[in-house]
Amino acid sequence: MNKTKGGFEKVVRRLVKKHSTPLMLISEAKLQQQYEAFVRHLACVTPYYAIKANPQPEIIKAFIKLGAGFDVASGNELISVLKLGADPAKIIFANTIKSPADLALAKKSRVKLMTFDNEPELYKIAKYAPGSRVLVRLKVNNVGSTVELSLKFGADPDQAIFLLNKAKSLGLVAEGLAFHVGSQCINIDNYLQALDISSMIFHEAVQVGLRLKTLDLGGGFPIHHFDSDDHIILKEIARQIRPKLRRLFPKDTNFMAEPGRFFVGPAGTLVTSVIGRTFRNNRNYYYLDDGVYADFSGIVFDHCRYEYKSLRRGQKFLSTLAGPTCDSFDTIAHNVDLPELEVGNIVYVKNIGAYSCASAVPGFNGFAPAKILMI
């Protein structure tokens, strides 16, 4: 996409004229830029794209071309990436709770690497996917992260050695450890503490005859959603992580991570149109042709806030944005500064490539999610 504001607006107007709205524009160049930034700042860490962030086939193809691995959470996600040409050896089944059918599918598909966080899961893996390589997922701090994943996942660190020994006794390969600091993590201490804990477990494992080979740093790498955001980003996180990886772990440790939002979030721009307007609660009130049941679903499921912009110029007024459905819950934002808009005017949001269309409800109230275009 053209980097200048004027060039961007020309592209948007041309695409709206051709395809109408709503549109989800995915920049292939931005996907590549994010991937290259990750491997530049964390060269010793192999990225596995977490496809739940956005499983669109063209996005998966782009990351296959770039050489990424893939983090899948279900049998359907596994089938999707395999059909598009992903290498089974570069896939991690990173859901700690897996159905017997999905485990059998992983075994059949030669996908051997997976996570777990409890003893009953190990018995299930040993039965339906014998010989798998397993990583015990640790419960670590998620303080300051937008989505706290430790509420649902992760074994207490003091249980790690027991669980790895149990895995070995069941004929599984006790490969190593995994953790997740929470989605959109802007607290560097979460990473640093998780690395310290993981290092202690690596050293304790040696004492009991276990040699761990892999550490999975999970995801959580944050992006800027607003032009004015100034919180920590990957570059600063990597600067503090790299020395710890070198100092705390054996030189031949295989480091991996599961970026989702970081890879695809900045690549997406949602383009919508005003389909109705009124004046309510002493402010302009605009109805858009997309809402929280569709591509603004990240407001609900991802606890995300977005920056709303318009192609129209002029004095800005306090405004409310709502979606097109008949549900009052479908209110996008209450306090947005926008110029006076008319029906047909464009409202767009950048940095919305993650989740959004991936968690949209198909066709609620008859309104289809945005058409997705790779540009």
DSSP state of 311: S
Q: Give the integer Cα–Cα distance in Å for 208 and 174.
A: 13
What is the secondary structure of 95-143 as a DSSP string? -SS--HHHHHHHHHTT--EEEE-SHHHHHHHHHHSTT-EEEEEEP---T
Burial of 219 (0-12, 13-18, 19+ CB in 10 A): buried
Q: Which of 268, 258, 262 is nearest to 70 (CA)?
A: 258
Cβ neighbours, 10 Å, residue 4: 8
Q: Give the integer Cα–Cα distance in Å for 221 and 201.
A: 23
Q: Give the integer Cα–Cα distance in Å for 103 and 53.
A: 22
Side-chain half-sphere of 345: how many Cα atoms within 13 Å? 18
User: Distances in Å between the alpha carbon of 127 and those of 2, 115, 121, 137, 170?
Assistant: 53, 15, 10, 20, 9
Q: Give the integer Cα–Cα distance in Å for 146 and 187.
A: 10
Contacts (Cβ under 8 Å, ≥6 apart) of 18: none
User: Distances in Å between the alpha carbon of 172 and those of 88, 96, 131?
Assistant: 18, 15, 5
The one catalytic residue in 44, 185, 304, 326 is: 326
Contact 284/340 with Cβ under 8 angstroms? Answer: yes
The reply to whether 326 belongs to the active site is: yes
Phi, psi of 254, deg, nearest 5:
-90, 110
- Give the β-pairing of 113-116 and 91-93: parallel
- Which positions are annotated as active-site residues? 326
